[in-house]
A and B are shown apart, each in its own frame.
Chain A
Amino acid sequence: MNVQAVSNISFSLEEGDIFAFLGPNGAGKTTTLRLLLNIIKADSGEITWNVNGSGGALPQPENIGYLPEERGLYLDIPVIRSLVYLASIRGMDPSKARISAMEWLERLDLAGRAQEKLQALSKGNQQKIQFVASILHKPKFAILDEPFSGLDPVNQEKFIDYIKEINKQGTTILLSAHQMSLVEKIANKVFLINAGQQVYNGSLSGIYDAFGKKQVIDLLFKSAMDESVFQKLSDVESINKADDNRMILTFRQDTDMNKALSELAEIEGISSITSHKPDLHEIFLQLVKTHKQ
């Protein structure tokens, strides 16, 4: 069966960017990343690179780092050997790779396990090793597909710092992740893809300017509520039933909130009401939902 995974998308990254490449499952993110890395070829279109002033085709492997979505390392081989090998096939001198790998392992509290086989490590620790394998050779450009997957909140925060750090050291980053709260802490540009099509491409501040001015009202009820109750409200753009007794309403930009609140006051059983500007997670949901319609 032929499936068109990605169609008619266009984006560009500048040196120093942390570019968030977002989309729901099956949107075409990983396919796009594989196209970028020439693992698979597109039927049509053009991908051009300009890393270190050498334009044209895919840069040399030493300039590229890749953390694939489908994790995989040699399970039956000591951690340090795998790291040195993967860095060396990307052009790094093995002795330098060993020193650098040990430094990273120290930072990740895994130095003592350098000689252990990867299969002896927990899933989270294996993920850390996978991350190190993708950036150990200090690439100019790194593609990180789901770098936070399998990490606990403490380590997720640490990884935010690591990504910021390598970015400051000169690595441009293309980041694909589902944790919007983490993405908005580090990205400066955002690209949203849905069903293989481009939904948004621009700066992070731009997405807030374009879609973040709406008002989000979070309502909590004493008992279960039905969505249909809210459909008669004027200026409501979307209704999101977060729980049986919790509704999140997004109002259109420039909504008269006095009017909206007085309409809400007529609905019985509200136990709590909070309002805020939509965050990236909500904008993401909103855009995907609108795009589907």
Chain B
Amino acid sequence: MKYINQVTRVTLWEYRRFYKPKNELLGIVIMLMVSAASFFITRYAMSDSGEKHKLTVVYGTDSQLIGMLTANFEIDSVSVTQQEAAISKIAQNKDGILLLSNESGFAIQAYKKSKKTKLLIELLNNYSRSMAMQEAGITQKTMNLIEAPANVTESFIYTDNSRSRSIMAVFFAGLMIMAVFLSFAYQFTAITGEKQLKITEQIVSAISPQVWMDGKIFGISLTGISSMLTYSLLGIIGGIIYFQFTGLPVSNIMNFLHLPSILLYLPFALTGILIWNAILAAIASVITDPNNSGKSSLMMLPVLFVLSSFFVTRDPDSNLAVFLSWFPLTSASAMPMRWALTEVGFMQMAGSYILLLVTFYLLRKLAAKIFRVSILISGKEPSWREIYKLSKES
């Protein structure tokens, strides 16, 4: 009971210390404002002014081609002898394009590569295709038929690998990465910062390293999860607004909220977050100065493992997929993905989850031990070898 009380106190302390809803909302508002501003600025920059671009062609250019170009270009025709003068004009004005055509193809002369030259090439491609179709005697209708995909009616006996379940699996894996990334920064401040501020000695004289470590893991996981929920909620609201503006019913978003999937994915994702927080806490415990420590890069490990679980989507029944769905560092995201894509027995899921829980139990013990050992070494950052040696001795 005393352990639970102490862990609760440390958990709440860490949570209140780092989770600042006001700051979070302010950050989101600023982010939305910046995104909106970027969207409008980019749109304005990319927008077409409606002004036609200047294009010079040589007398005798196919009238059908000129017809296709007039919608976008202001066309001026010159004789072959005036080509050089046209090029000089382009160089002088730093504007305009000269188009030459012969039997083998086209030549473009412009001051520099730009949106205009890109557009011209697109139009020339369309013209060439249309000429080839005419030569081969193919009508547009026939061309459409050639390009149309096969008309296939899909029918499956196992129908539970619905799109909504797959989307939810990827969504939860994404949220897990997000929560772990948010925790990454907090663990550094909470543990490394506390070591730098010399608070640890005061704290571990009152509570055991295990209580301290568990409080940190739970408190910071809770902080990451809270941020994750804030962003999820924002995503759902954003989705509803999007559907509202696009004239689609709000129920579209509800189709993706597949309740049985959520009930399965949530415990896996939460335990995964706890596991990664235990690992991050252990790494942070041995870092004295985050700016100069080679161990800081180990904080990228979660991304590597979570991303590797996406191999499951290639073939959810392969040996690799089965391994990833059992291996505790990948199973939190790989098992839900497998479950979404193929048939997975209840015992398999339960076994994988129990293994995940046992791994968390052991990792938090290991993290506390590493922390206890790392405070024995003062003045320098301990090497993994020293930590291993001292852990064995303690």
Contacts and interface: CB of A to CB of B under 8 A. Distances in A.
20 contacts: A39-B204, A39-B205, A41-B394, A61-B207, A66-B206, A68-B198, A68-B202, A70-B198, A71-B198, A72-B197, A72-B199, A72-B200, A73-B202, A74-B197, A85-B13, A89-B6, A89-B9, A89-B206, A89-B207, A134-B202
A77 B14 CA distance: 12
A88 B9 contact: yes
Given A40-B376, A41-B394, A70-B198, A64 B10 contact: no
Nearest to B13: A85
A75 interface: yes
Interface string A60-91: 01001010101111110100000001101110
A68 B198 CA distance: 9
B185 interface: no
Contacts of B194: 72
A37 B204 CA distance: 9
A200 B388 CA distance: 38
B26 interface: no
Interface of A: 34, 37, 39-41, 61, 64, 66, 68, 70-75, 77, 85-86, 88-90, 133-134
Nearest to A38: B205
The SS class assigned to the B binding surface is helix
Which of B200, B206, B375 is packed against the most chain A CB atoms within 10 Å? B206
Interface of B: 6, 9-10, 13, 17, 194, 197-207, 375-376, 394
A39 B197 contact: no
Contact of B202 (A72, A75, A88): A72
A86 B202 contact: yes
A68 B394 contact: no
A70 B206 contact: no
Contact of B9 (A37, A85, A133): A85
B217 to A, nearest CB: 16
A72 B9 contact: no
Contact of B206 (A74, A75, A86): A86
B205 A66 contact: yes
Contact of B197 (A41, A66, A75, A88): A75
A116 B56 CA distance: 74
Contact of A66 (B6, B198, B202, B394): B202
The interface centre, meaning the residue of B9, B197, B394 with most chain A CB atoms within 10 A of its CB, is: B197
Nearest to A43: B393
B214 to A, nearest CB: 13
Given A75-B197, A85-B13, A133 B394 contact: no
